[in-house]
Amino acid sequence: MKKSKAFSAILTFMLLSTILSLQSFAGGLPTHSEIKKALKSVVGENNGGFGLNMWATVVDRDGVVRAVVFSGSNRGEQWPGSRIISAQKANTANAFSLPELALSTANLFSAVQPGGSLYGLQHSNPVNTEVAYRGPSENIGTINDPIVGYKIGGVNVFGGGLALYNNNGQLLGAIGVSGDSSCADHNIAWKVRHKLNLDYVPKGVSPTKDDNIVYDITDSVSAGGWGHPVCSPDAAKIAGELPKTHPVRSREK
């Protein structure tokens, strides 16, 4: 009986240690609860979309999924397919951003179209389907989401994915948000990153020299090569104001 209790205590300690290590995320990434709190807060605002509940996924610099959260009261209150799309977006923003250059998933839309400078990029890193659909459904969106701890892969080229930079300018990974229009997804991801204090963006390709979404497509051609389609005038207006309402922060020297 004593041995059984001792063994049980050891297992409990190991489980708690694993959970705490996942929550603290080596490298300064936010915890599951911090991401969820920020996402729920932002979803309640006007983001230029349909006002739907959302998924958010965070990956580290190696592309390993560190957290998956949803804003609704249960996993069925968001589009089920958007869970993996959010993970794709996080993987993409991390995979194609650098310590000195941030590229949002929205920035990649025009570049990957036929004739674009990055045509074919969207086919370069497919989703790991064995990871995407593994594990029990009841764990989805919890701290024990089945894809946490695995590399999900995938490339997504519409709004909602942003790289995460700390106050020293270190690129920690990325966040991906999905569940509404792609333009609203971008606005939500931007606001969530701001709430998490991980928007010390070095520079980017937008007119404001950050990784904001760019609306410069006319007759299917992006003037600067980094444009994204307009989903709604409201979403475009909100995005245009983000550098003022939620400005990226200046890194410490």
Q: If you count them, how many residues does the chain have?
A: 253
Instruction: Determine the pLDDT at residue 250.
Output: 85
For residue 150 the two structure tokens come to 């695995």
**Which residue has tokens 């989401």?**
145
Q: Report the 10 Å Cβ neighbour count for 11.
A: 10
Using only the alpha carbons of the chain, give its radius of gyration.
18
List Cα–Cα distances, 193 to 38, 55, 136, 225, in angstroms. Answer: 8, 14, 29, 25
Instruction: Determine the pLDDT at residue 21.
Output: 44
Low-confidence ranges of the chain (pLDDT < 50): 11-26
CA angle 151, 152, 156 (to 5 degrees): 135
pLDDT in tens, 183-207: 999 999 999 999 999 999 999 999 9
pTM (two decimals): 0.89
Top-level class of domain 27-245: alpha beta
Instruction: Determine the pLDDT at residue 19.
Output: 46
Residue 47's nearest CA partner among 187, 240, 158, 162 is 187
Stated as kind and residue range, the H or E segment containing 56 is strand 55-60
Instruction: Determine the pLDDT at residue 253.
Output: 53
Instruction: Determine the pLDDT at residue 251.
Output: 74
Output phi, psi for 177, to 5 deg. Answer: -125, 135
Instruction: Determine the pLDDT at residue 1.
Output: 53
The distance of Cα 71 from the centroid of its chain, to the nearest Å, equals: 14
Distance CA 180, CA 175 (A): 16
What are the boundaries of each domain within the chain? 27-245
